[in-house]
Structure 1
Amino acid sequence: MKGSPMLGRCCILIALLILIALLIAYKGIPSPAPESSRRIKIFLAGSLQIPLEEITGLYRKIKNLDFQMEASGSVEAIKKVTELGKYADLILVADYNLIPKLMMNQTEWYVAFATDRLVIVYTESSKYASEVNGTNWHQILMREGVKVGISDPNRDPCGYRSIISLLLASNGSLASELLRGTNMRVRGMEAWIPDPVQGSEKIVIRPKSVELLALLESGALDYAFEYESVAIQHNLSYLKLPEEIDLGNPELKDLYSTAKVHLSSGVVIEGDVIAYGLTIPKVARNEGEALEFTKFLLTEGLKIFEKLGQRAIRPPLAYGEVPEELRGIVREVGG
């Protein structure tokens, strides 16, 4: 009995499809990249979110990558990896010193790439906004009914830097007066921060500095300690502090170091020049792509930081066992 012509054609078609599949496998035609290889997961300080959004947007025009960014206070960003067991391909913090202090076993290198300075931000509706200036700001902050915001020193570098600035302002006496009623303790040029930290009628505390902005704009706050870059990025009025207390002048590093803040974790923060830092932790799942993006960030990306108020360090300063891919664009300065 003769077979059906239709059945014969189906058999031939199936055989051809099998042959094509075998040829594809033999030739090693690449399959689509796995999802994880097209994603870079970044934990970052809240004060870096706006420039990072612009930098990643530019990078997407070069390479089709998905960026998953989680903004928080810098200490929390690091603890997500060191204590919560989460992974990140890149970590960017507002204090480069936190990386060797808190990530000793989680990374072998880090880079300082930009600087900033502390300022006091306010709005037209802030109490005594028409009076405040570089001479009387501390008196204005102490007036009855004036509310002042700082971020949580245990979670955000802007918070402990705000305390350091107050300690430097008058050998500790301004910090003692302004923080009265909170559960923070001041003695001389040092301050101790419990956890949880509690504010007062005058002092309002939030986990990260950018969270204070909504309170400021709503009138719930009159003044807040912020980075100059944050004030620029959000078009806020701000008061420049004397360079002796704004933590922005590298030549005054020794002066800044006379103030110390003891965090609840036992870590002691010594006053230093503000500098942002980054690293790729050992738990990174996409180290290769993270390194390529880091090269872009430390070259083309520096222009974005400068435009948005963070002063680039050129060349960026690298510490530890710096990856070969970065050695041509950084200056290695120590372990």
Structure 2
Amino acid sequence: MLRKMLFWIIVFSLFLFVSCQFHVSEEKNNILYIIHAGSLTLPVHELSLAFREENPDVRILTEAWGSKAGARRVIDINTPADVFMSADYMVIENMLIPDHASWYLPFATNELSIVYTTRSRYASEINQDNWMDILMRPNVKYGRSNPDMDPCGVRSVFTIKLAEKKYGNEGFAGQLLEKDTDNIRPKETDLIALLEKNHIDYIFLYKSVAVQHGLEYLELPDSLSLGNFALNDWYSSVSIETLGSRPGETITEFGEAMVYGLTIPHKSESQKLAEKFVNFVLHPDKGQAILKRLGQDPVTDFRNPHKNNLPDNIIHHHSGYKPE
């Protein structure tokens, strides 16, 4: 009798254990964990709302980082990320492939601008001809993000170096990069609060973020904005050394037109759901339409070296994909 009772207790316990494990597994598959660039905070919020309208049972968790810091988060995190969305596809190439991801896809473009408010010093004067002089004035404070943590910081350096070359203003880049270094922040969106509180006057920031936040911005010429693919040879004439993915490692980054990229890391625990979200982002009438409304155009010309690694379920031709 006792043996029979013990037998049924064990069977019932096993049943409960299996049921709980199934419930946890099912629950995990309904959670989508996204790590994304700071400049994508509002777009990812809008994309998530629209995606959940089609998939109401899905729970979406998001974290905003400078893209390089976000990539390190993907590498180090105990809870695996399902989708990583970077402001620069090269962050995925340089830091995640091949150990932590095997492919990426382009999904948006952008351009750099100089952003300010109506209370910024010389706000009524700044233009494409005098911005270099204004930023160098001792009573003007400007901010930029950290190039070791954020692509916007890298691109800010590129724009400053290109301006020196374009206008033949020798020494300008070094002088401006040495100025106001206490206003460097981990990601570009960290600077917005400083700008809005009038602690600084100008920031180097993506045009899309300025539009989304209703900020004033100076549109830079194509030769400086990093927004024209036809000028990639010119953009690549400047470079910067930044930290790599491993301690003590450095990489050389060259200027190029802006391309945002996304991937599904190897450690994703919701692969199918992640693929579904990626397809939503790449769909011209869904994710791409949302991004365009928020100031980011789709990528129209891109050759992907990792085309053979793309999951079968990813409809990659939606986002400017071109085979080799």
Q: TM-score range by the shorter chain?
A: 0.7 to 0.9
TM superposition shift of 1:179: 2.0
1:95 equivalent to 2:93? Answer no
When normalised by structure 2's length, the TM-score is 0.84
Secondary structure at the aligned position of 1:109 is classed as: coil
- The match for 1:250 among 210, 213, 229 is 229
Q: Which has the higher strand share?
A: 1
The match for 2:31 is 39
The amino acid of 2:288's aligned partner reads: L
The amino acid of 1:151's aligned partner reads: S
Say whether the 8 Å CA contact 1:165–1:246 is kept in structure 2.
Answer: yes
The amino acid of 1:255's aligned partner reads: W
Q: Which has the higher helix share?
A: 2
The match for 1:210 is 189
- Within 5 A, what are the aligned runs for 1:103-114? 103-104=96-97, 105-114=99-108
TM superposition shift of 1:316: 7.4
The match for 2:52 is 60
- Write the deviation string for residues 195-250 of structure 1: whole angstroms up to 9, x where unpaired: xxxx15xxx11111011011001010100000000000000000011111110000
Larger radius of gyration: 1
The amino acid of 1:270's aligned partner reads: F
TM superposition shift of 1:324: 1.0
1:71 equivalent to 2:67? Answer no
The amino acid of 1:250's aligned partner reads: F
The match for 1:304 is 290
The amino acid of 1:303's aligned partner reads: A
The amino acid of 1:118's aligned partner reads: L
Q: Which portions of structure 1, spanning 4 or more consecutive aligned residues, are displaced by more than 4 angstroms?
A: 30-33, 314-319
Length, aligned pairs only: 289
| Cα distance, 1:106–1:328 mapped onto 2, change above 3 Å | closer
Secondary structure at the aligned position of 2:234 is classed as: helix
Secondary structure at the aligned position of 1:34 is classed as: helix
TM superposition shift of 1:83: 3.7
The amino acid of 2:121's aligned partner reads: K
For structure 2, list consecutive stretches of 5 or more residues without a partner in the other structure.
1-14, 245-249
TM superposition shift of 1:180: 2.7
- The match for 1:176 among 171, 174, 177 is 174
Structure 2: how far apart are the matches of 1:316 and 1:302? 16
Structure 1: how far apart are the matches of 2:83 and 2:289? 20
TM superposition shift of 1:268: 1.4
For the aligned residue pairs, the C-alpha RMSD in angstroms reads 2.2
The amino acid of 2:30's aligned partner reads: R
Structure 2: how far apart are the matches of 1:294 and 1:55? 10
Q: Percent identity?
A: 36
- Within 5 A, what are the aligned runs for 1:130-279? 130-171=124-165, 173-180=171-178, 199-200=181-182, 204-265=183-244, 266-279=250-263
When normalised by structure 1's length, the TM-score is 0.81
